[in-house]
Amino acid sequence: MAQSELNRLKWDAIDVLLVSGDAYVDHPTFGVPLLGRWLVAHGFRIGIIAQPRWDRPDDILRLGRPRLCAGITSGSLDSMLAHYTAFRKQRSDDAYTPGGLAGQRPNRAVIVYSNLVRQAFPGLPLVLGGIEASMRRVSHYDFWTDALRHSILLDSKADLLAYGMAEQSLLEAVQRLDQAAPGQHPADALAGISGTVRCATARTPIPAATVPLPAHEAIRQDPFQLVTATLAIEAQIHRGGPVLTQQDGIRTLVIEPPADPLDQTVLDRLYELPFTRLPHPSYQQPVPALEPVRFTVTTHRGCAGGCTFCALALHQGRRIQSRSVPGILREVRDMHRLTGWNGILNNVGGPTANFWGARCTAPTSSCRRTSCLWPAPCPHFKTDQVGLAALLRKLAALPGMRQVRSASGIRTDAALREPAYLDALLRDFVGGQLTVAPEHRSPRVLDLMRKPSFEGFEEFVRCFEAAGKRSGREQYIVPYLMSAFPGCTDRDMRELAAWFRQRGWKPRQVQCFIPTPGTVATAMYWSGKAPDGTPIHVARSDAERLRQHGLLIDSPAPPSRGTVNRRRRSAP
Ligand code: SF4
């Protein structure tokens, strides 16, 4: 982060500059430090400029001109989501900033930082990454301006956009720039990298066999075309090829198929890089986002659920990549060397806790489903929750371990299939509360979300209560619910509220749907149509959205049994 640190490392310059909207926290759940250490492990010298001032390029200039390129990200969240609530009100805090201060990154950070770097280092190749770039990789609806926007690659005038978990694609881009012939144009060096989006040029034309997405102008004229485009993007990240293209005026975007997942050994090595799990020492105040994740371990990536509102499906994809048991044990065993370790592992998980070890066993890769679990579990989808329970026990048996928690949400439909896992989880690895996400009660809304039926949730509640009686522990379910989802009416919300009232539960974890960029649900919101083209009701005005939200939040109920934490969705 500073020239003095370069001197200490005896680096006369850096190869790559990573610019982030988050504070610099050296922890594997923060994207830029993860990529930084990954590139260093591959022999490159990396500088990180975190939360630079954006009115002048002084901070960007701090480490000098990088030899190869700059990587730019808004940070762990889309900058608009980080700044504004579901009702477009400005947030008063930012968990990714020292002291939780709001306002340390600009709106549309990727575009602003790109301009800043271009001003500081004219001609330097720019590579975009992170959730903001990933989810805005093609034409998308922007809730905060209620308008269709161009791909962020075009708006930022960068050379390349790396979508998803970008280890492979960023590394390949950096290696290609490193090996480029003197004077070679970056566009020539960066063409054809898996997991990237670029603009076709005269030098790097469109590959032969491509599938066109609806053009930007066609989407502007017929919003349902956004649903079509988003479903095609979703299919591409799940199934791989072919290359997609999107016409935007005279420009053509080339969307390469996703990068191959990291193999298990590489994934283990990545998470075992020497992270300090601390914020940069220059910060005077703690970074609030670190504390809950500081002593946690990531066991896998990806989620097979394919929920239409979740950015994960289009960022990490549906294929689950699980780490090995020895790799996870090694990482956790090493935590005792770190400052502040007190023997409590706060979470063992990934996007969905009980999908570690889950895999597709289909003999061919011709799957056309949008979810491995909806409308019913696919017979080829296999979980290994008994193996997961055994892993949790091994972690709990490590020397000096006082407690192991599994705090990520679980898929109730999958958990019901392996009761031994549920028993072990409830007995030993959750505290008083278990997070689950039925999201809604209405079958129509659940179908539009691609969530399992509410009857399944009721069955889960029965099993949970029976397990509680067996263990003699007082435990509560914390259900995540959503209001104002496309297709949801006041009547649906009243019926949902009635169910909770009947049970004496006061739901507190209710998120008003935010149409974040790039999801299928957002395309439904903007177009007012379901993926099959059927018109649906959309609560669009703030008044109606607030009303739907209030029907659940303000529903009177005897004694309160929920949590009072705020809930923020959408970023993996
Ligand atoms: S075949 Fe089944 S398990 Fe495999 S990816 Fe498709 S839906 Fe998922």
Query: Quick check: do 3-194 and 432-572 share a fold?
Result: no
The CA distance from 210 to 221, in Å, is 23
Instruction: Give CA separation, 551 vs 431, 496, 505, 556, in Å.
Output: 30, 9, 14, 10
| Residue 251 φ/ψ, nearest 5 degrees | -100, 150
| Predicted pLDDT of residue 55 | 95
CB 209 within 8 Å of CB 242: yes
| Predicted pLDDT of residue 567 | 35
pTM tops 0.85: yes
CA-nearest residue for atom 7, ligand 1, is 372
Atom of ligand 1 nearest to the CA of 379: 2
| Predicted pLDDT of residue 472 | 79
- Chunk the chain into consecutive blocks of 10 residues (it has 572) and report each block's average pLDDT, rounded to whole numbers: 96 98 97 98 98 96 98 97 93 96 96 98 97 98 97 98 96 97 89 96 84 98 98 92 94 95 96 96 97 96 94 87 98 93 95 95 87 94 96 97 91 92 90 89 97 95 87 85 97 95 87 97 98 98 94 64 34 29
| Predicted pLDDT of residue 468 | 80
Nearest alpha-carbon partner for 220 in 145, 105, 141: 141
β-bridge partners, 100 = none
| Predicted pLDDT of residue 240 | 83
| Residue 84 φ/ψ, nearest 5 degrees | -130, 150
374 touches ligand 1 (CB under 6 Å): no
For strand 296-298 and strand 347-349, is the pairing parallel, antiparallel, or unpaired? Answer: parallel
109 CA to centre of ligand 1 in angstroms: 36
Nearest alpha-carbon partner for 226 in 485, 515, 488: 515
561 touches ligand 1 (CB under 6 Å): no
369 touches ligand 1 (CB under 6 Å): yes
CB 339 within 8 Å of CB 418: no
| Predicted pLDDT of residue 565 | 30
| Predicted pLDDT of residue 281 | 95
Nearest alpha-carbon partner for 50 in 84, 27, 81, 80: 27
| 8-state DSSP, 535 | B
Domain residue limits, the chain:
3-194, 432-572
The CA distance from 411 to 72, in Å, is 34
165 CA to centre of ligand 1 in angstroms: 21
Atom of ligand 1 nearest to the CA of 381: 3
Reduced to 3 states (helix: H, G, I; strand: E, B; else coil), residue 160 is strand
| Predicted pLDDT of residue 178 | 97
Number of H helices, E strands in the chain: 23, 22
Taking the mean position of all CA atoms in its chain, how far away is CA 5? 31
The domain over range 3-194 is classified in CATH as 3.40.50.2300: no
523 CA to centre of ligand 1 in angstroms: 24
CB 213 within 8 Å of CB 233: yes
| Predicted pLDDT of residue 556 | 60
CB 148 within 8 Å of CB 226: yes
360 touches ligand 1 (CB under 6 Å): yes
Report the 10 Å Cβ neighbour count for 498. Answer: 13
Site to probe by mutation for ligand 1, drawn from 321, 360, 370, 383 as the one with most ligand atoms within 8 Å of Cβ, is: 360
Domain spanning 432-572 has what CATH number? 3.30.750.200
CA-nearest residue for atom 3, ligand 1, is 381
| Predicted pLDDT of residue 517 | 97
| Residue 480 φ/ψ, nearest 5 degrees | -85, 135
The CA distance from 178 to 189, in Å, is 9
